[in-house]
Amino acid sequence: MENNTTKWYLLAFLGCVWGSSFILMQLGLQGVNSIQLGSLRILFAAMFLIVVGFKHITQIPLYKWKYIALTSFFGTFVPAFLFAIALSKIDGSVSSILNSLTPLNTLLVGLFFFGLDVQRRQIFGVIIGFVGCVLLVLFGDGENTTENYYYAILIIIASVFYGINVNLIKKYLSDLKPLTISTGNFIVMFIPALVVLYFTGFFDIVHQEKVQNSLGFIVILGIVGTGLSNILFFKLIQLSSPVFASSVTYIIPVVAIMLGYLFMNETLSIVQVIGALVVLVGVYFSSKK
């Protein structure tokens, strides 16, 4: 009973934190470019986790490091850059709704590659979610031109990567503590992220006022929205199922849309609202057992 209650608290908390992450990314992009944002997000999270979890690294068996590397690649490293690039062209509210395809992709990846049992209603949910995604992407409003919607594909790819990540953790890393997995992930990513940041020319512009102003938002994004949240998300995966854990993305669009409306003057067209509802109906059915 305690585990059942805890998983719902974790789901709600992560939904709020990750829903807020979209506006933090947009604020961060006011001072740095997309690649710099992705690198800095990883580096700040890595520094936080190395400080709080370094002694846990010895708990990772040598043969599990390949899974640690895979989950760091699919779960954080590539998606961090995909989201940053996409958010330079499309609204955070649209991105957050597309991200709600994660449970659908978790289901599909689990079905085809991890032997996950799937019922007919879950397949039905996948089809509904796909239709909603098409409506959301094709019928834009305001500054989101058709050309910009090509960037929506990056969010969809990221959601597939998240689906792979959740299934990998559930199958191969469930016996490790969440802090151990998170710290291992970011130790693997630290040097690659630092190298990427160096070649963007960030250290030549770090003294600029607009860059320094954006760093505060990126620090919060890295430590809370990435480092701490990863620990709690891995705990949620261990307490529940892959599809339930990924259903945190049901909550994210609501939070992101509210914040985007309040602080970023974002709007959604009527067809996009309908598409968002269809997506959420799809992910609801996909999570039913």
Contacts of 5 (CB under 8 A, 6+ apart): none
**What is the pLDDT at residue 147?**
53
Neighbours of 9 (CB within 10 A): 11
Q: 69-74: long-range contacts at Cβ-Cβ below 8 A with a sequence spacing of 24 or more?
A: 69/188, 70/168, 71/165, 71/168, 71/169, 71/173, 71/181, 71/185, 72/184, 72/185, 72/186, 72/188, 72/189, 74/161, 74/162, 74/164, 74/165, 74/168
**103 touches 247 (CB < 8 A):** yes
Full residue range of the structural domain in which residue 138 is found = 2-287
Q: Is 13 exposed, middle or buried (0-12, 13-18, 19+ CB in 10 A)?
A: middle
Tens-level pLDDT at each residue, the chain (289 residues): 556 788 889 988 998 999 899 889 989 999 999 999 999 999 999 999 999 999 999 999 999 999 999 999 999 999 999 999 998 888 777 787 788 888 889 888 998 888 877 777 777 877 888 887 777 666 655 554 455 778 889 999 999 999 999 999 989 999 999 999 999 999 999 999 999 999 999 999 999 999 999 999 999 999 999 999 999 999 999 888 787 888 888 788 777 777 777 776 766 678 777 877 887 787 777 666 5
Q: How many domains does the chain have?
A: 1
- The model carries a pTM of 0.86
- What integer pLDDT is reported at residue 254 of this predicted model? 75
- CA distance linking residue 25 with residue 220, whole number of Å: 10
